[in-house]
């Protein structure tokens, strides 16, 4: 087992350093600024997949050789991308009413699914960070190393997940790690791992725009936060997730779920499909 694979198994995440260099990052940051006219469109918080897959400058970022090679090491040759591509702009997590603002596991909506207990379950979020993570401005994530693990699997399933939730709460308090990622790094983390956006702080105070909503923080200027996200997984673990997303899309009306209504490759832009085929990449199907 390689050390990358070992770290992913043990800690539930890996950082791949320097996937993009400074020039590429500067270029894509100004491209996003220009393309989405952020000057006049300062409320834009998400760019959804339907727009991303039409623009090779944007979508090709997800499929950099170094990323594909890392995914091959972590998930084996047979891995897939979930096409839930998104670009977040100055987005800093969830509402403050929660027990710990912003902290969550990405797998939460899937509930106490049995497939989370599989020994070789491999499903992760991949984030491409276009800025350093800093104490002043945030820009990356905090997470709980090892927090993806599920113990005592022989117990009734409800109890197993009750214990996991309890463990998540303790981890958030006692095992909260600020990840020092740099601009151009990517982080791949297990969907069961508790994490949160690192929040900007000035004079040691969190910047919160209003008390109940910390989703979006403006005014960070050149330190604006841009992150590309999508899910990646071992091919055997995509069908359960895609079924779940498809059901969720019927209840939750958000452009985020468009990907679970569109069939790959039929409903996709030809340029995107050609790129995917040329690079021998697999996209999860419904
Ligand atoms: Fe998340």
pLDDT in tens, 194-205: 999 998 876 666
Domain that holds residue 129: 3-278
pLDDT (tens digit per residue) in 221-236 = 788 999 999 999 999 9
Residue 229: predicted pLDDT: 98
For 86-141, what is each residue's pLDDT tens digit?
A: 999 998 875 555 667 789 999 999 999 999 999 999 999 999 999 999 998 899 99
CA–CA separation, 35 vs 21, rounded Å?
21
Measured in Å, residue 196 CA sits from the centre of ligand 1 at 7
Closest CA to 206 of 105, 130, 101, 129: 101
Tokens at residue 95, please?
Answer: 């509402």
CB 82 within 8 A of CB 232: yes
What spacing in Å lies between the alpha carbon of 223 and ligand 1's midpoint? 21
Instruction: Give the confidence band of 207 by pLDDT, cuts at 50, 70, 90.
Output: low
Res. 212: pLDDT tops 70: no
Residue 283: inside a domain, yes or no? no
CA of 109 to the centre of ligand 1 (A): 11
Considering the domain boundaries, does residue 69 fall inside one?
yes
Assigned domain for 285 exists: no
CA 270 to centroid of ligand 1, rounded, Å: 30
Query: Ligand 1 mean position to 278 CA, how many Å?
Result: 30
Q: How far is the CA of 191 from the centre of ligand 1 (A)?
A: 8
Any idea which of 62-71, 115-124, 245-254, 276-285 has the lowest mean pLDDT?
Answer: 245-254
Instruction: Give the chain's radius of gyration (CA, Å).
Output: 18
Distance 41 CA to ligand 1 centre (A): 25
Q: How far apart are CA 19 and CA 280, in angstroms?
A: 20
Evaluate whether residue 79 is within a structural domain: yes
45 in any annotated domain: yes
Q: How far is the CA of 269 from the centre of ligand 1 (A)?
A: 27
Per the structure, the count of domains in the chain is 1
**Residue 208's pLDDT band (boundaries 50, 70, 90)?**
low
Evaluate whether residue 284 is within a structural domain.
no
From ligand 1's centre to the CA of 75, what distance in Å?
20
| C-alpha dihedral sign at 119, 175, 161, 285 | negative
Mean pLDDT taken over the chain? 92
Q: What is the pLDDT of residue 226?
A: 97
Task: For residue 281, report the distance from its CA to the centre of ligand 1, in Å.
Answer: 24
Q: Could you tell me the distance, in angstroms and rounded to a whole number, from the CA of residue 193 to the centre of ligand 1?
A: 9
pLDDT, mean of residues 39-67: 94
pLDDT at residue 218 is higher than 90 = no
Residues with CB in 5 Å of ion ligand 1: 106
Q: Which pLDDT does position 215 carry in this prediction?
A: 65
In a domain, 50, yes or no: yes
Residue 253 has what pLDDT? Answer: 86
How far, in Å, from the CA of 188 to the mean position of ligand 1?
A: 11
Q: Could you tell me the distance, in angstroms and rounded to a whole number, from the CA of residue 192 to the centre of ligand 1?
A: 10
Each residue of 249-272: pLDDT tens digit? 999 888 899 898 889 999 999 999
Ligand 1 centroid to Cα of residue 195, in Å, is 6
Residue 272 lies in a domain: yes
Residue 37 predicted with pLDDT over 70: yes
Ligand 1 centroid to Cα of residue 105, in Å, is: 6
Q: Say which CATH number the domain at 221 has.
A: 2.60.120.620
């Amino acid at each position: 087992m390689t050390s990358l694979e070992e770290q992913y198994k043990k800690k539930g995440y890996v950082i791949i350093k320097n996937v993009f260099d400074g020039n590429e990052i500067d270029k894509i940051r100004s491209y996003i600024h220009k393309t989405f006219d952020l000057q006049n469109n300062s409320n834009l918080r998400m760019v959804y997949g339907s727009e991303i897959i039409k623009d090779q400058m944007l979508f090709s970022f997800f499929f950099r050789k170094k990323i594909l090679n890392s995914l091959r090491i972590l998930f084996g040759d047979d891995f897939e991308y979930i096409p839930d591509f998104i670009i977040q702009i100055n987005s800093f997590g969830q509402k403050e009413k929660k027990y710990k603002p912003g902290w969550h596991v990405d797998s939460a909506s899937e509930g106490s699914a049995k497939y989370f207990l599989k020994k070789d379950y491999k499903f992760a979020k991949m984030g491409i960070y276009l800025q350093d993570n800093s104490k002043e401005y945030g820009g990356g994530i905090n997470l709980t190393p090892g927090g993806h693990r599920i113990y005592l699997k022989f117990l009734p399933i409800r109890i197993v997940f009750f214990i996991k939730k309890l463990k998540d709460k303790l981890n958030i308090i006692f095992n909260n790690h600020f990840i020092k990622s740099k601009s151009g790094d990517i982080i791949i983390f297990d969907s069961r791992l508790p994490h949160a956006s690192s929040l900007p702080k000035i004079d040691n105070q969190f910047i919160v725009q209003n008390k109940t909503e910390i989703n979006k923080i403006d005014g960070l200027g050149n330190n604006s936060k841009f992150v590309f996200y999508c899910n990646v997984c071992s091919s055997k673990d995509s069908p359960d997730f895609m079924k779940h997303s498809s059901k969720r899309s019927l209840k939750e009306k958000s452009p985020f779920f468009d990907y679970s209504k569109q069939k790959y490759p039929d409903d996709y832009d030809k340029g995107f499909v050609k790129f995917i085929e040329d690079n021998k990449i697999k996209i999860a199907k419904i």
